[in-house]
Structure 1
């Protein structure tokens, strides 16, 4: 039963990650690095943020440790000075590492660390972590979907 649940959760997580990548597919560097909304975030900055979210929840929170990133925290939230190739590689690597941790950890495993917010009270095990990452990825995929429509009118991108 737990294997079926893990498989289902992973299917939904992968679908949301694929949506993020599909929504941004084909956009050039200018479109990826230009804010579209008044809040000032960029599509590429959102992808980097999602990479950090994967790293935070699965590596830092679940396992209690994470390798340092290859760059300093040198930017405004949800923007990045890094190139699309670097950011997309970072995101994919964090997702890959998350998948490894998810595969090796029981759903009932208690995270090694707590997230420093009231959200921590709702996340008591790996199941809660993966549900939150699905939630966050889906929310930001929706943001990216709207921005893509504003950039070039394309909608309905992604597997779902």
Structure 2
């Protein structure tokens, strides 16, 4: 499912819709880019940092979970750092592309529902996500999520090009 780039020239109902369009676009672009890679490239790293495309997908799902559920909603999340093991991203051998994509998309649907029902000026409740710092507004959280997705999609662009996969937007 290719989504069009959310061009600034396309009218949006409000700032919330702008954020959601960018998040949806970057999330789906990441899925499409990873899904187009040959199977052998999904669990292989081509970078000195050592992450794999599957690890990136899982990481992005947990990024949304940490910022929206654990942070903005203040929910108890049993393992907010479940994308990590031994201080690096981790995907278990039994985890699959299809499963990770489904989890990422489900997390995205949750994000969309939460954001659509809230005000961008709403401040998250205090809680462990903030580690003693003042909680952020939803708008600030969404800005962070957009930059996180854009940055990591750029990383995946490089990996895909090195692996002979699709390049460009």
Q: Please give the range of the TM-score, normalised by the shorter of the 2 chains.
A: 0.7 to 0.9
For 2:26, the equivalent position in structure 1 comes to 16
The 1:127–1:44 alpha-carbon spacing in structure 2 relative to 1, beyond 3 Å, is same
66, 78, 90: which one aligns with 2:89: 78
Tell me which protein shows more helix as a share of its residues: 1
For 1:105, the equivalent position in structure 2 comes to 118
Q: 5+ residue gaps in structure 1?
A: none
Structure 1 Cα separation of the partners of residues 103 and 47 of structure 2? 24
Higher relative contact order (CA 8 A, sep 6+): 1
Structure 2 Cα separation of the partners of residues 74 and 136 of structure 1? 17
TM-score by length of 2: 0.79
> Is the contact between residue 31 and residue 151 of structure 1 (CA under 8 Å) also seen in structure 2?
yes
For 2:7, the equivalent position in structure 1 comes to none
> Is the contact between residue 44 and residue 52 of structure 2 (CA under 8 Å) also seen in structure 1?
yes
Alignment of 1:1-160 (within 5 A): 4-66=14-76, 68=78, 75-76=85-86, 77-81=88-92, 82-113=95-126, 115-116=129-130, 124-152=136-164, 154-157=166-169
State the Cα deviation string for residues 44-86 of structure 1 (Å, max 9, x = none): 10010000001111111010015547xx667452231121122
Bigger shift: 83-92 or 56-65? 83-92
Structure 1 Cα separation of the partners of residues 72 and 137 of structure 2? 8
SS of alignment partner, residue 152 of structure 1: coil
Structure 2 Cα separation of the partners of residues 153 and 25 of structure 1? 10
Structure 2 Cα separation of the partners of residues 149 and 100 of structure 1? 34
> Is the contact between residue 71 and residue 130 of structure 2 (CA under 8 Å) also seen in structure 1?
no
